[in-house]
């Protein structure tokens, strides 16, 4: 159980560092883009996709017109719409393709990433940088990582990025609730009743 505790403490320390390092201007732009859009679309691949779906649910609870890319009820994206993309590397092929399609439709694209100078970073209209080790970072040599003190097994692959983004987006939901004057009771009225 020692590894479990050490892992949790390591991840929570990373989250605290992220909270202190967030760029407020990026967040203000993110919120205003959401409020100004007609429809919001969200997309991430793999575990980033699961984080995207969790955020989409909360945006629906807040009353936003939100769609998850890849679901069969997702409509066409158009001008004055917004695509929120989540990719730690900023290079995920399917997410890059979705962003390119959104840009051709004259929609805005926001990227949440660790790498602002990535392919997606260059496509996006704006971004939010959430620092974290993605599955692409780190020395491939196990012994060298241990000597350097890089114990990635405590948060393997993209865990730090994905968990940080999940918590960042949940914090953003609380910020949106305050800005929109909504309470948990308001969100509850839009919560699923058939489960």
Per residue in 85-131, pLDDT (tens digit) is 999 999 999 999 999 999 999 999 999 999 999 999 999 999 999 98
Please report, for the domain that includes residue 97, its CATH number.
3.40.50.10490
pLDDT value, residue 188? 83
Does residue 63 sit within a domain? yes
Give a yes or no: residue 193 inside a domain: no
SS (H, E, C) 9-65: HHHHHHHHHHHHHCCHHHHHHHHHHHHHCCCEEEEECHHHHHHHHHHHHHHHHCCCC
pLDDT at 157 over 70: no
Is 93 among the domain residues?
yes
Is 149 a member of any domain? yes
| Inside any domain, residue 155 | yes
Q: Tell me if 163 is assigned to some domain.
A: yes
Range of the domain at 163: 2-178
Please tell me the predicted confidence (pLDDT) of residue 135. 47
For the chain, the average pLDDT equals: 88
Residues belonging to the active site:
162
Structural domain count of the chain: 1
pLDDT band at residue 170, thresholds of 50, 70 and 90?
Answer: very high
Determine, yes or no, domain membership for 191: no
194 in any annotated domain: no
Q: pTM score, two decimals?
A: 0.86
């Amino acid at each position: 159980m020692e590894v479990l505790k050490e892992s949790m403490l390591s991840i929570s320390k990373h989250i605290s560092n992220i909270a202190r390092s967030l760029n407020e201007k990026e967040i203000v732009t993110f919120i205003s883009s959401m409020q100004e859009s007609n429809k919001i679309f969200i997309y991430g691949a793999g575990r980033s996709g699961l984080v995207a779906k969790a955020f989409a649910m909360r945006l629906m609870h807040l009353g936003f017109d939100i769609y998850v890319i890849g679901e069969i009820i997702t409509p066409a994206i158009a001008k004055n719409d917004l695509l929120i993309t989540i990719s730690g590397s900023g290079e995920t092929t399917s997410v890059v393709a979705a962003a390119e399609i959104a840009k051709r439709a004259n929609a805005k694209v926001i990227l949440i990433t660790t790498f602002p100078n990535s392919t997606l970073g260059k496509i996006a209209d704006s971004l939010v940088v959430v620092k974290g080790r993605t599955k692409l970072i780190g020395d491939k040599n196990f012994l060298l990582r241990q000597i350097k003190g890089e114990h990635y097994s405590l948060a393997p692959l993209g865990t730090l990025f994905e968990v940080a983004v999940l918590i960042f987006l949940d914090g953003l939901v609380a910020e949106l609730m305050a800005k929109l004057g909504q309470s948990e009771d308001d969100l509850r009225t839009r919560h699923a009743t058939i489960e």
